[in-house]
């Protein structure tokens, strides 16, 4: 349990210390942001900072830090270190700069940003890579929630169309298309903050549930500093790929420009981009706790 709180405090401290260093390195100023300068009422719309944070959190998190953390728990409490330091020194920096560089370049996507700084060839490489990545992530983010809804309905005695995974996949895909073609503040700006709050509440509930169960004890890193994976799957680099969304994920760079187009000021970047990544790291840290049997051991 001590290991968990140390990592939690490091994540929070990383936001204020290293995150501020990253922010100072970029040096945000008072220039007009794309949301103010372009403001087309569709993709470029000024939104409140709290809403930017919650939308960004849901954009980059969703099921990722939950599934990734639960699977990563197979390696034992050593995964705490990857989530903590990966978030502070990799994920937070990655998300911050991908968002802020987009804000400095009229809300450009990651492939366009790569073209601006690395040339036409890398722009095309990133276009192909981004499309493939988004198709894969989109598939997971459609099939995953559909499976959870079907399981929830089945466990509550629901029958018929509502327990058909294909139906829910179709519903989710239709929602994706609608959310893509309407103004960002009409659906995403209204629904995502609610789901973002739910994501935080679930994590808090899981944490409270674990710490109030006296029959469980969370093993410490220093007494279990070893590969605990039952199949002895190597830590390098399998664990880092498995727990990508809870520490660093290239997918995030495709989402950060969405909020870069909605910021009123560049000075919001530290909270919106780096802060959302730290919050995702904390969520992943909490979801490690109930992942029996590797992170939770029966009390003696």
What are the pLDDT digits (tens) for 25-39?
999 999 999 999 999
Q: Per mean pLDDT, which range of 38-42, 97-101, 250-254, 272-276 is the poorest?
A: 250-254
Q: Which residues, at least 6 apart from 208, have a Cβ–Cβ distance to it below 8 Å?
A: none
If residue 50 lies in a helix (H) or strand (E), which one and from where to where? helix 49-60
Inter-residue contact 63 to 141 (CB < 8 Å) = yes
User: What local confidence, expressed as pLDDT, does residue 18 receive?
Assistant: 98
* pLDDT higher at 300 or 111: 111
CA distance 139 to 133: 10
Look at residues 96, 112, 87 and name the one whose alpha carbon lies nearest to residue 263: 96
Q: Is 156 exposed, middle or buried (0-12, 13-18, 19+ CB in 10 A)?
A: exposed
H-state helical runs in 63-155: 64-72, 79-86, 92-104, 110-118, 120-155
Of 221, 217, 219, 227, the C-alpha closest to 75 is: 227
Q: What percent of the chain has pLDDT over 90?
A: 55
- The pair of three-digit structure tokens given for residue 9, joined into one six-digit string: 């405090």
Please name which of 229, 250, 232 lies closest in space to residue 241, comparing C-alpha atoms.
Answer: 250
**Cis, bond preceding 293 (omega within 30 deg of 0):** yes
Count of C-beta atoms within a 10 Å radius of residue 29: 9
Assign 145 a pLDDT band (cuts: 50, 70, 90): confident
pLDDT for position 293: 42
For residues 140 and 269, the model is more confident at 269
Residue 74, pLDDT score: 87
- What is the rounded CA–CA span in Å between residue 130 and residue 196? 24
Taking residues 41-65, what's their average pLDDT? 92
CA distance 107 to 32: 12
At 177, list the tokens.
């298309």
pTM above 0.85, yes or no: yes
Q: What is the pLDDT of residue 94?
A: 95
What is the helix (H) or strand (E) element at residue 201, kind and residue range? helix 188-211
- What region, left, alpha or beta, does residue 27 occupy, with left being phi > 0 and alpha being psi -120 to 50 degrees? left
């Amino acid at each position: 349990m001590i290991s968990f709180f140390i990592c939690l405090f490091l994540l929070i401290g990383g936001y204020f210390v290293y995150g501020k260093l990253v922010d100072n390195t970029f040096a945000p100023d008072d220039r007009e942001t794309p949301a103010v300068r372009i403001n087309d009422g569709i993709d470029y719309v000024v939104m409140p900072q709290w809403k930017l944070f919650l939308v960004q959190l849901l954009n980059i998190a969703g099921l990722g830090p939950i599934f990734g953390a639960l699977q990563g728990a197979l390696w034992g409490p050593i995964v705490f270190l990857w989530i903590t330091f990966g978030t502070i020194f990799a994920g937070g920096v990655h998300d911050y700069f991908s968002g802020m560089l987009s804000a400095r370049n009229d809300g450009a996507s990651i492939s366009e940003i790569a073209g601006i700084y690395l040339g036409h060839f890398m722009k095309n490489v990133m276009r192909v890579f981004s499309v493939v990545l988004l198709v894969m992530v989109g598939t997971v983010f459609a099939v995953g929630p559909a499976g959870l809804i079907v399981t929830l309905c089945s466990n509550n005695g629901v029958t018929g169309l509502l327990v058909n995974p294909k139906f829910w996949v179709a519903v989710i895909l239709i929602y994706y298309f609608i959310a893509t073609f309407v103004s960002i503040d009409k659906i995403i700006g209204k629904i995502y903050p609610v789901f973002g709050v739910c994501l935080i509440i679930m994590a808090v509930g899981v944490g409270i549930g674990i710490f109030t169960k006296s029959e469980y004890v969370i093993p410490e890193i220093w007494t279990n500093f070893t590969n605990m994976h039952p199949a002895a799957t190597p830590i390098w680099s399998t664990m880092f790929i498995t727990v990508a969304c809870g520490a660093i994920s290239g997918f995030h760079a495709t989402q950060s420009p969405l909020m870069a187009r909605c910021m009123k000021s560049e000075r919001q970047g530290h909270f919106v981009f780096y802060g959302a990544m730290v919050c995702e790291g904390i969520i992943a840290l909490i979801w490690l706790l109930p992942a029996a049997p590797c992170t939770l051991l029966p009390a003696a």
